[in-house]
């Protein structure tokens, strides 16, 4: 989902209302869903930007699983 001005305005409205008046249970649920949509949108933008710069998630995840001394061949090239 794209981050729209309406989404941001609604999140901000609920935050202000929460601060000054409190929220109903329904508004609290809505607030959590809207915040999740916003964060998912930000994550997608970051992933898209990294992929556009030549990085892939698979590459990054693979690197995260291994260390330089693991000897798996992914982390350290084979010596011939």
Residue 11, domain extent = 5-65
Q: What is the pLDDT of residues 27-77, one digit of tens each?
A: 999 999 999 999 999 999 998 888 888 877 666 555 555 566 666 666 655
End-to-end CA distance of the chain: 49
- Domain count across the chain: 1
25 within domain boundaries: yes
Q: What sign has the CA pseudo-torsion 19, 23, 25, 27?
A: negative
43 within domain boundaries: yes
Question: Which pTM does this prediction carry?
Answer: 0.65
Q: What is the pLDDT of residues 11-33, one digit of tens each?
A: 999 999 999 999 999 999 999 99
71 within domain boundaries: no
The domain that contains 10 carries what CATH number?
1.10.287
């Amino acid at each position: 989902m794209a981050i729209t001005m309406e989404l941001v305005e609604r999140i901000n409205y609920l935050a202000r209302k929460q601060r000054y008046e409190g929220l109903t249970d329904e508004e609290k649920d809505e607030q959590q869903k809207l915040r999740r949509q916003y964060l998912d949108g930000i994550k997608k933008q970051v992933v898209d930007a990294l992929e556009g710069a030549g990085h892939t998630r698979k590459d990054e995840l693979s690197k995260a699983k291994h260390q330089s001394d693991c000897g798996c061949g992914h982390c350290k090239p084979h010596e011939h």
